[in-house]
Amino acid sequence: MSKRVTDLTAEELEGLAQEAWSNAAREALAKGLAITGSRNGRRYRYHPDGRIDDLGAVGAEPVESDVEKSRTSVA
């Protein structure tokens, strides 16, 4: 029998969230979309061609060039 979400531990919820993010990221990259995530206190943008942009520290103000890039990349 499955557990209700309210009965899951914090560790179980974290694992499910990580799995969901990973699946969504893989699907987005397969469709040619860039994704943004964080690791070790830094933000990164991952591109379908394998490029990775370092967007700076989490919580840092975006650099003007990053803002302009995001404005021009939205379809």
* pLDDT tens string 21-41: 999 999 999 999 999 998 899
pLDDT at 70: 52
Residue 70 falls within a domain, yes or no? yes
Examine residue 63 and state whether it is found in any structural domain, yes or no: yes
Q: Which residue range(s) make up the domain with 62?
A: 33-75
Instruction: For the chain, give the percent of residues with pLDDT over 70.
Output: 77
Please give the Cα distance from 50 to 39 (Å, whole number): 17
Is 60 part of any domain? yes
Asked if residue 13 belongs to a domain, the reply is no
Nearest of 27, 73, 75, 23 to residue 53 by alpha carbon: 73
* Residue 72 within any structural domain of the chain: yes
Using CA atoms, how far apart are residues 34 and 52, in angstroms rounded to an integer?
A: 9
With beta carbons less than 8 A apart as the criterion, state whether 46 and 52 touch.
Answer: yes
> Which range, 36-40, 50-54, 69-73, is most confident?
50-54
At 60 the three-state DSSP class reads coil
User: Average of pLDDT values for 45-73?
Assistant: 75
pTM score over 0.75: no
Report the domain count for the chain. Answer: 1
Please tell me what DSSP assigns to residue 74.
Answer: -
